[in-house]
């Protein structure tokens, strides 16, 4: 099954010597199945864990490992490979290879190719938990990040040593998703901006979760990743708009050309959003705002000693969409979201009225691939006079659908 973003892409897959090298075979197979051309480079140690025969059979290309072919003396050019690659992925990346990459120790074909690579580089570290936590590994990863290398954090779980902790290489399926995301973003950035149809328009967007403090070290929050709101912000900016993004705590980079305001709690979000929402042409309420917050935030850490049961009194948070919706002026258009587990349409219609919105984007947790944390979403766009159901799409594509629907509502 070819992938639109991976088909025909040249990927150098570097494999280091670690138990997780067995997962590289699955990763290679997934990449090739999606239409990528993959050249495997193995470090000498990697061949102790998985054979080059397996990898060359799966990639359809001889594996490169040494600088020269032993009997013919043919030279393998790391420079050519570095130039050929649209992307270099090193999975698993061992502590030793990460250290060599950080310091430029070019003593094998893999590190030498890394030093020659002009395009993006992604590493998926895998090692024992103590090696991963060691300050030298942390420092090397920070150094690589500062060079622009993308690090796929290892997951926690049982390791080859039978110790449990952080160090397992991310699963091949997830690594493929991350690689697809990379190429999707490249294609979005390089796509000609034919349509700057929001030139001169002002957009305000709330996104992400809110955190409501219980005490200095604890909070009430939710699983919202902010991805949907950020994708909408990026698409509006690409189409020429002046975008203000009011974001709760998320770990996402700011989309190009977007003005971002970081907040933590619902009250802070309302305060930061009021001005931009009043001045905007289009207001998008994509944040997953906590409905309640602790009535009192303890000034010092709450101790458990001598306390067998605990109640936290909660008070209602302001409804940002409803507050701004009540102040909506003629010519402004406001869009809200509804994440429902059942009776979605009724709830979405009720929100249109109650919050004075023009459009509600409904997603149902019952649909797999939709909702919090995922890179995809399946939405139904509800307005006063229409209901349009869309299939499962990437959040970037959903952002385009939402903005196209706004354009149509405007023209109606
Ligand atoms: O009422 P409910 O939380 O289901 O409504 C969801 C919509 O309202 C979303 O657009 C969300 O961003 C917005 N909302 C808000 N402030 C709240 C609660 C929800 O802006 N306190």
Question: 290 pLDDT exceeds 90?
Answer: yes
Rounded CA gap, 36 and 386, in Å?
Answer: 41
Question: 297 pLDDT exceeds 90?
Answer: yes
Cα of 366 from ligand 1 centre, angstroms: 19
- Residue 290 CA: nearest ligand 1 atom is 21
* Helices and strands of the chain, counted as H and E runs: 13, 21
344 in the same domain as 201: yes
pTM of the predicted model over 0.95: no
Residue after which a domain boundary falls, among 131, 151, 184: 184
Cα of 307 from ligand 1 centre, angstroms: 35
Q: Count CB atoms within 10 A of the CB of residue 379.
A: 26
Share of the chain above pLDDT 70, in %: 94
358 in the same domain as 221: yes
- Residue 347 CA: nearest ligand 1 atom is 4
The predicted-structure confidence for 181-202, as pLDDT tens digits, reads as follows 899 878 766 666 557 889 999 9
- Residue 340 CA: nearest ligand 1 atom is 4
The predicted-structure confidence for 211-269, as pLDDT tens digits, reads as follows 999 999 999 999 999 999 999 999 999 999 999 999 999 999 899 899 999 999 999 99
231 in the same domain as 149: no
- Residue 226 region, left (φ>0) first, then alpha (ψ -120 to 50), else beta? left
Give the domain extent around 246: 195-411
Residue with the smallest CA separation from ligand 1 atom 17 is 319
Concerning whether 195 is annotated as a catalytic residue, the answer is no
Question: 302 pLDDT exceeds 80?
Answer: yes
- Residue 361 CA: nearest ligand 1 atom is 10
DSSP 74-128: PBP-HHHHHHH-SEEEEEEE-HHHHHHHHHT---SHHHHHHHH--SEEEEEE---
Ligand 1 neighbours (beta carbon < 6 A) = 206, 266, 285-287, 289, 317, 319-321, 336-338, 351
HEC states along 132-201? HHCHHHHHHHHHHHHCCCEECCCEEEECCCCCEEEEECCCHHHHHHHHHHHHHHHHHHHCCCCCCCCCCC
340 in the same domain as 232: yes
- What pLDDT score was predicted for residue 45? 96
Residue 162, domain member (yes or no): yes
Residue after which a domain boundary falls, among 143, 164, 184: 184
Residue 39, domain member (yes or no): yes
**Mean pLDDT, to the nearest integer, of 354-362?**
97
Question: What value does the mean pLDDT of the chain take?
Answer: 91
- What pLDDT score was predicted for residue 73? 61
219 in the same domain as 261: yes
223 in the same domain as 166: no
Reported as a pLDDT band with limits 50, 70 and 90, residue 369 is low
Residue 110, domain member (yes or no): yes
217 in the same domain as 165: no
Reported as a pLDDT band with limits 50, 70 and 90, residue 313 is very high
Residue with the smallest CA separation from ligand 1 atom 8 is 321
Of the candidates 386, 350, 343, 388, the one whose C-alpha atom is nearest the C-alpha of residue 366 is 343
Residue 225, domain member (yes or no): yes
Question: 367 pLDDT exceeds 80?
Answer: no
- What pLDDT score was predicted for residue 3? 78
Residue after which a domain boundary falls, among 152, 184, 216: 184
Question: 165 pLDDT exceeds 90?
Answer: no
- What pLDDT score was predicted for residue 83? 87
Higher pLDDT pick, 71 / 316: 316
268 in the same domain as 163: no
Higher pLDDT pick, 191 / 81: 81
Residue 190, domain member (yes or no): no
Mutate to test the pocket of ligand 1, among 321, 357, 365 (most ligand atoms within 8 A of CB): 321
CATH number where 369 lies: 3.40.50.10300
Cα of 336 from ligand 1 centre, angstroms: 7
The predicted-structure confidence for 373-388, as pLDDT tens digits, reads as follows 677 788 999 999 999 9
Cα of 339 from ligand 1 centre, angstroms: 9
Residue 189, domain member (yes or no): no
**Mean pLDDT, to the nearest integer, of 10-23?**
96
Reported as a pLDDT band with limits 50, 70 and 90, residue 118 is confident
271 in the same domain as 293: yes
**Mean pLDDT, to the nearest integer, of 91-112?**
96
Higher pLDDT pick, 129 / 207: 207
8 in the same domain as 88: yes
Of the candidates 292, 370, 309, the one whose C-alpha atom is nearest the C-alpha of residue 337 is 370
Total structural domains in the chain? 2
Look at 30-39, 40-49, 76-85, 183-192 and tell me which has the smallest mean pLDDT: 183-192
Cα of 98 from ligand 1 centre, angstroms: 44
227 in the same domain as 156: no
Share of the chain above pLDDT 90, in %: 74
Cα of 108 from ligand 1 centre, angstroms: 54
- Residue 291 CA: nearest ligand 1 atom is 21
201 in the same domain as 173: no
Rounded CA gap, 300 and 94, in Å?
Answer: 42
- What pLDDT score was predicted for residue 394? 84
**Mean pLDDT, to the nearest integer, of 60-84?**
78
**Annotated catalytic residue: which of 185, 213, 222, 356?**
222
Look at 72-76, 253-257, 362-366, 383-387 and tell me which has the smallest mean pLDDT: 72-76
- What pLDDT score was predicted for residue 194? 58
Residue 118, domain member (yes or no): yes
- What pLDDT score was predicted for residue 4? 82
User: Pairing mode, if any, of strands 379-382 and 359-364?
Assistant: antiparallel
Residue 10, domain member (yes or no): yes
- What pLDDT score was predicted for residue 22? 95
């Amino acid at each position: 099954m070819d992938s639109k973003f991976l088909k025909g892409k040249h990927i150098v897959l570097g494999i280091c010597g670690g138990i997780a090298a067995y997962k590289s075979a699955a990763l290679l197979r997934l990449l090739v199945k999606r239409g990528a051309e993959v050249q495997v480079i193995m470090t000498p140690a990697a061949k102790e864990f998985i054979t080059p025969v397996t990898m060359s059979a799966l990639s359809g290309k001889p594996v490169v490992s040494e600088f020269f072919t032993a009997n013919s003396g043919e030279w393998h050019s790391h420079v050519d490979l570095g130039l050929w690659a649209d992307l270099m992925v090193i999975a698993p990346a061992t502590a030793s290879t990460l250290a060599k990459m950080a310091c430029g120790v070019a003593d094998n074909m893999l590190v030498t190719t890394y030093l020659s690579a002009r395009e993006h580089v992604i590493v998926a570290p895998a090692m024992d938990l103590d090696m991963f936590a060691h300050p030298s590994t942390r420092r090397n990863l920070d150094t690589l990040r500062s060079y622009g290398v993308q690090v796929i954090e290892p997951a926690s779980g049982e390791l080859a040593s039978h110790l449990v902790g952080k160090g397992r290489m991310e699963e091949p399926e997830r690594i493929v998703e991350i690689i697809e995301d990379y190429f999707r973003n490249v294609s979005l950035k390089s796509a000609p901006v034919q349509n700057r149809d929001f030139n001169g328009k002002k957009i305000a967007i709330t996104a992400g979760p809110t955190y409501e403090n219980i005490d200095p070290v604890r909070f009430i929050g939710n699983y919202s990743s902010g991805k949907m709101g950020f994708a909408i912000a990026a698409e509006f900016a690409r189409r020429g708009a002046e975008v203000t993004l009011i974001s709760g705590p998320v770990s996402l980079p700011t989309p190009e050309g977007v003005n971002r305001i970081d907040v933590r709690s619902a009250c802070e979000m309302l305060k930061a959003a009021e001005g931009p929402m009043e001045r905007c042409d289009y207001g998008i309420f994509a944040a997953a705002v906590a409905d309640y917050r602790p009535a009192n935030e303890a000034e010092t850490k709450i101790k458990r000693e001598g306390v067998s049961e605990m109640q936290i009194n909660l008070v209602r948070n302001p409804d940002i969409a409803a507050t701004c919706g009540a102040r909506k002026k003629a010519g402004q258009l406001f869009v809200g979201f509804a994440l429902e587990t059942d009776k979605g349409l009724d709830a979405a219609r009720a929100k249109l009225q109650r919050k004075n919105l023009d459009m509600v984007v409904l997603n149902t947790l019952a649909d797999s691939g939709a909702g919090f944390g995922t890179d995809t979403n399946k939405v139904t766009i509800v307005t006063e006079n229409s209901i349009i159901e869309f299939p499962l799409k990437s959040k970037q594509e959903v952002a385009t659908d939402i903005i196209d629907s706004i354009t149509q509502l405007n023209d109606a």
